[in-house]
Amino acid sequence: MSQPKRPALGRGLDSLISMDDVPARGTTAINDILLEQISPNPDQPRKDFDEEALQELASSIRELGIIQPLSLRKSGPSSYQIIAGERRYRAAIIAGLSSVPAYIRTANDSELTEMALIENIQREDLNAIEIALTFRKLIDQYSLTQERLSERIGKKRATIANFLRLLKLPAEVQLGLRDRRVDMGHARALLTIDNPSLQLKLYNEILKNGLSVRRVEQLAKAYQNGTDLQQSKASQQSKYTTNDFEILKKHLSMSFKTPVQFTCNAKGNGKITFPFKNADELEQLIAIFDSVNRTDN
């Protein structure tokens, strides 16, 4: 008989880790836990905490206390690790509290990371790079496929793939995404460009000119096509060597009975010069041009 499929952690969050409505599974009692007994989760996906926002939360806690309890798991005889609520924990320290209200539940390391990720995603606390790095960590650490991770956290596989692709961007762009200087729409447009140097060039244009996502999509397409065009031109130029130009120069000189000057630069631009010493040589050249023109007609 087949085993029942484990429900995705991303589904039914109100019964699992939503700190807004229902206590975490494993207890229905609110415990008062000393702050010195609590430690953050080292695998917490969220790495950046806005100091100004923490100060505002601390002020609120001084006035009203912590309205929403933290969610903790027991990590030792008298120690606990945060599942959800690290902002409240940090603000409580700033506010000078000695203890905080909390629900206690059990969770293994994999579940802890998953729950911390989902709780932050649901609150939109994480930036795109933090989410991408956590997806990568879950996949690598627990040997998950993107499909399996999709089932575990209740996110579409395409969503997971899109986040993981962000880790292929140049480091400078990833930092900009982490710091919310650009958003996911900009990043997805940059990913359509194959050349990292061009990705960086367009990224800097976004910062300098405040480009919209739509405009970046247009420019990314132009950048990509421009790169292909340059490669095509380079390929065409490779058909002609310096020796080929010398042969052409000699051929023209013999045909027009004058030392033809022939130049061509790296971009394929150039000119052919027909020098003459006197009026007679000029008339001779004109006659040759006229004969060629009559032949063409």
Residue tagged active-site, from 52, 56, 63, 86: 86
H or E element: which one contains 189? helix 184-190
> Parallel, antiparallel, or unpaired: how do β-strands 38-39 and 79-84 relate?
parallel
Q: How far is CA 36 from CA 93, 104, 155, 175, 292, in A?
A: 10, 16, 36, 33, 97
Asked if 177 contacts 216 with a C-beta cutoff of 8 angstroms, the reply is no
Q: Where is 264: in which H helix or E strand?
A: strand 261-264
Question: What's the CA gap between 19 and 103, in Å, rounded?
Answer: 10
Alpha-carbon gap, residue 236 to 240, rounded angstroms: 8
Cα dihedral 229, 230, 232, 235 in deg (nearest 10): 180
Distance CA 202, CA 188 (A): 12
Strands 270-273 and 70-76, sheet pairing: unpaired
Respond yes or no: is residue 151 known to be catalytic.
no
> Hey, which residues are catalytic here?
86
